[in-house]
Amino acid sequence: MDILIVEDEPHATQRLQALANELIPEANILATVDTVKKAVQWLRSNEGPELIFMDIQLADGLSFHIFEQVQIDSPVIFITAYDEYALRAFKVNSIDYILKPVDKEELNGALQKLKNLSGHTDRQKDILSNIAQAMEMLRKRYKTRFVVKVGEHLRTIEVGAIRYFFSRDKATFCVTDDNRNHILDYTLEQLEDMVDPEEFYRINRKYLVRSSAIKDIISYTNSRLRLVMNGSTDNDTIVARERVQEFRAWLDK
């Protein structure tokens, strides 16, 4: 059985190799790759393996993004250290997974499931087709709204209506499409983990901006970039020099 391992932790990779060789006498480890980018390159350049072991969280992002860039018809066993919410997403969508650290009996059980699927290509395709649904469920872990105080009242603000977040005088604010500032009870560091990184990027210590709110990008001194944000006259929306390359890559998706 030809096997591809997509895993960014060396110890986990070694354990998977050892267990695969023990549980599958005919196992042939074709390659081990540790990033989304390398996995896509390998799958584009080689015939699909008979089985893929795939960690969910890789060094450069979720392994689900591999499926957005290349067609995979091989059965996949996901390796995950994700929380209970994510596991429910997998269970609902009938995707096989095992928890880290990889347990021999669990792995053997997953292999038996795949063995029972042998020849049932429609069933395998059903499992793979549900990956997109699992991705959406995982993405919903990000905040969709914030509660803010307006005078004596509380109101909710949808994340989709927020142009950017900024910090000033030890306080954090969000700026909405109606050009209003609202104070939030979070730091920018906390907000980075709360909002979808596909939508928001931390350009410097003071600003976390939304891609769709960027009106213009202008070359600035010392190899930096200055952003013109919709409805904003702020002059501090400067992309830090050390973040310019990553910022450009973030935009170019």
* pLDDT above 90 (res 218): yes
pLDDT value, residue 14: 92
Assess whether pLDDT exceeds 80 at residue 82. no
| Percent of the chain surpassing pLDDT 70 | 81
Enumerate domains of the chain plus CATH numbers.
2-139 (3.40.50.2300), 145-251 (2.40.50.40)
Q: What is the mean pLDDT of the chain?
A: 82
Q: How confident is the model at residue 93 (pLDDT cuts 50, 70, 90)?
A: very low
Paired tokens of 218: 């202008």
Element (H, E) at 131: helix 131-139
The pLDDT value given to residue 150: 85
Q: Is the pLDDT of residue 85 over 60?
A: no
DSSP letter string over 78-128? EEE---HHHHHHHHHTT--EEESSPPHHHHHHHHHHHHHHTT-HHHHHHHH
| 8-state DSSP, 247 | H
Q: Which residues contact 221 (CB under 8 A, 6 or more apart)?
A: none
- How many residues are recorded in the chain? 253
Which tokens sit at 176?
A: 């909405």
Between CA 3 and CA 77 the distance in angstroms is 11
Measure the CA–CA gap between 155 and 148, rounded to whole angstroms: 6
233 pLDDT band, cuts 50/70/90, is confident
Higher pLDDT, 203 or 235: 203
Amino acid 7: pLDDT:
92
pLDDT reported for residue 78: 81
Tokens coding 169: 């005088």
Residue 94 has pLDDT above 50, yes or no: no
- pLDDT band with cut points at 50, 70 and 90 for residue 164: very high
Identity of the highest mean pLDDT range in 2-11, 100-109, 114-123:
2-11
Instruction: Determine what percent of the chain is predicted with pLDDT higher than 90.
Output: 41
pLDDT of 92 reads 43
pLDDT confidence band for 84 (50 / 70 / 90): low
- Could you give the dihedral angle defined by the CA atoms of residues 107, 112, 118 and 124, in that order, rounded to the nearest 10 degrees? -50
pLDDT tens-digit readout, 37-53: 999 999 999 988 988 88
